[in-house]
């Protein structure tokens, strides 16, 4: 009898142990499977990491907290093997990205001076608008026209940010970057940065291989107001602080606040055409705003083209051309999807081309499954934009 009980007891214990083994095994298998899934499928939302706020995922989001951390990415390409992000105000994720997003967290700024100039250093992750405020507080004047541009100091040279008559390249003396091809910090002077309209070497030759770590500015002590734009011209002898306040006021009244309504500022670049094309267009479309730039070229206001093409307020589901600013596309309820954005971009480009024969290009950088998308295919070629539009199951 006692032996029977002991046997039953042993059997129960053995069964329990077996069951426990099975549970451990199943848990381990599940853990391995979920790890595999997580390493293959993007599940981390990037919605709050870009100001257009489309719903999209990436596989991983990590940060670079020191120059030493940059070494992890040596030999890899930004925009393909991983994506560097500042504050995501010039980037749109139109699809899930099957890779890692990397956010530099490099802070610090300082001012030195001689008799004629201020020499200002700022690390890449400093917020641009806070930087402008800090300069004003230190009585360093010159960048006030660029107030309230979203984003980081590190991204400012990349597309040579500009507004209200000023471009940041006028004040940049050099840019430090971590060279992903050799693992060294390099310094480029302003000339080597090859600045142009919303352009620099960091959008060209060094697009995939530079992590910008620091920007240096030389700002003359002798300050001259640049107050030709709109209501800035109404202020008598404006101070830098007055220009700052007015620029903030104009921007707040004209542009949608990305905190409230997803957007990436101007979605399209203002096209630049040669003199002959400008003359032809001026004859054909009296009233077309053409602004002379270098070498006989003229810049056309893309917002005007979109407006005249009847696209102001044009909406595809939750994505729209802004009612007052035709150059700005918006994510109306912060609920839009990449496919609708791509369809709207396509429609805007095609309609403007049909009416004016001018090809628009995007100022904003768009990303899909494999990294940066080239949306600049010439007419007749299939752009990656069309490929995204036709993709099945793309949100």
Which one is catalytic: 123, 126, 144, 198?
198
Which among 23-31, 182-190, 206-214, 277-285 is the span making contact with ligand FAD, rule CB under 6 A? 206-214
Nearest alpha carbon to residue 386 among 2, 376, 284: 376
By CB under 6 A, what part of segment 47-76 binds ligand FAD?
A: 51
Q: Give the pair of three-digit tokens for residue 217.
A: 């500015």
10 part of the active site: no
Q: Which stretch binds ligand FAD (CB under 6 A): 29-37, 114-122, 143-151, 267-275?
A: 143-151
- The Cα–Cα gap between 102 and 62 comes to 5
**Quick check: 334 binds ligand FAD (CB under 6 A)?**
no
Catalytic residue status for 259: no
Considering the complex, what minimum distance in angstroms separates the CB of residue 349 from ligand FAD? 19
> Shortest approach of ligand FAD to residue 22 CB, angstroms?
48
Q: Does 162 bind ligand FAD (CB under 6 A)?
A: yes
Residue 190 CA, chain-centre distance (Å), reads 22
Binding residues with ligand FAD: total (CB under 6 A): 34
Q: Is the CB of residue 64 less than 8 Å from the CB of residue 74?
A: no
Cβ 255 vs Cβ 303: under 8 Å: no
Shortest Å distance, C-beta 221 to ligand FAD? 26
Contact 345, 375 (CB under 8 A): yes
In the list 42, 142, 150, 271, the residue contacting ligand FAD (rule: CB under 6 A) is: 150
Q: What is the four-CA torsion angle of 83, 88, 90, 95, rounded to 10 degrees?
A: 60
What secondary structure does DSSP assign to 139-208, as a single string? T--S-GGGTT--SBTTTTTTTT-EETTEEGGGTEEEEEEEETTTTEEEEEEHHHHT-BTTB-GGGTTTTT
Nearer to ligand FAD, 78 or 298 (CB): 78
**Nearest to ligand FAD of 202, 356 (CB atom):** 202
Among residues 42, 99, 104, 142, which is the contact residue for ligand FAD, using CB under 6 A?
A: 104
**Is residue 212 a contact residue for ligand FAD (CB under 6 A)?**
yes
Contacts (CB under 6 A) with ligand FAD, residues 228-267: 255, 258, 263-265
Residue 375 CA: distances (Å) to CA of 96, 118, 263, 347, 386: 17, 40, 18, 13, 9
- Least distance (Å) between residue 356 CB and ligand FAD: 24
Q: Could you say which DSSP state residue 62 is in?
A: E
State yes or no: residue 210 binds ligand FAD (CB under 6 A): yes
* Annotated catalytic residue, options 95, 144, 246, 363: 363
Closer of 329 and 388 to ligand FAD (Cβ) = 329
Task: Tell which positions 71-90 bind ligand FAD, by CB under 6 A.
Answer: 78, 83-90
Per-residue exposure over 320-351, b if at least 16 CB sit within 10 Å of its own CB, e if not: bbbeebbbbbbbbebebbbbbbbbbbbebbeb
159 touches ligand FAD (CB under 6 A): yes
Handedness of CA 149, 154, 159, 163 (dihedral sign): positive
- 363 counts as catalytic: yes
* Min separation Cβ 130 and ligand FAD, Å: 12
Helix axes 240-254, 128-137, angle to 10 degrees: 150
Q: Which residues bind ligand FAD (CB under 6 A)?
A: 51, 78, 83-91, 104, 124, 149-152, 154-156, 158-159, 161-163, 210-212, 255, 258, 263-265, 365
- Which residues are known catalytic residues? 198, 266, 363
């Amino acid at each position: 009898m006692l032996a029977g009980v002991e046997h039953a007891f042993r059997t129960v214990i053995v069964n329990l142990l077996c069951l426990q083994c099975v549970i451990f095994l199943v848990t381990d298998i599940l853990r391995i499977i979920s790890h595999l899934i997580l390493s293959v499928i993007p599940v981390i939302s990037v919605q709050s990491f870009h100001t257009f706020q489309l719903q999209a995922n990436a596989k991983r989001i990590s940060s670079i907290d020191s120059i030493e951390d940059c070494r992890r990415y040596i030999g890899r390409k930004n925009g393909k093997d991983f994506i560097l992000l500042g504050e995501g105000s010039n980037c749109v994720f139109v699809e899930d990205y099957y890779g890692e997003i990397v956010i530099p967290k490099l802070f610090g700024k300082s001012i030195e001076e001689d008799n004629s100039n201020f020499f200002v250093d700022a690390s890449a992750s400093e917020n641009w608008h806070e930087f402008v405020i800090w300069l004003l507080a230190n009585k360093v004047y010159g960048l006030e026209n660029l107030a309230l541009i979203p984003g980081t100091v590190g991204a400012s040279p990349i597309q040579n940010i500009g507004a209200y008559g000023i471009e940041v390249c006028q004040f940049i003396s050099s840019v430090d970057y971590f060279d992903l091809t050799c693992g060294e910090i390099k310094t480029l002077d302003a000339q080597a940065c090859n600045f142009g309209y919303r352009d620099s070497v960091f959008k060209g030759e060094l697009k995939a291989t530079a992590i910008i770590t620091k920007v240096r500015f030389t700002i003359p002590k002798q300050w001259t107001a640049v107050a030709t734009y709109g209501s800035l011209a109404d202020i008598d002898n404006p101070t830098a602080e007055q220009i700052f306040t007015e620029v903030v006021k104009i921007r707040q009244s004209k542009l949608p606040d990305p905190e409230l309504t997803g957007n990436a500022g101007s979605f399209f670049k203002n096209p630049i055409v040669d003199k002959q094309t400008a003359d032809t267009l001026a004859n054909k479309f009296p009233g077309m705003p053409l602004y002379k730039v270098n070498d006989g070229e003229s810049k056309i206001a893309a917002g005007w083209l979109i407006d005249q093409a009847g696209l102001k307020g044009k909406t595809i589901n939750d994505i729209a051309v802004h009612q007052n600013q035709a150059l700005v596309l918006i994510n109306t309820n912060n609920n839009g999807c990449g496919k609708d954005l791509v369809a709207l971009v396509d429609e805007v480009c095609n309609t403007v081309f049909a009416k004016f024969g001018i090809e628009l290009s995007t100022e904003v950088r768009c990303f899909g499954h494999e990294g940066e998308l080239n949306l600049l295919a010439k007419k007749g070629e299939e752009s990656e934009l069309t490929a995204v539009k036709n993709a099945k199951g793309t949100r």
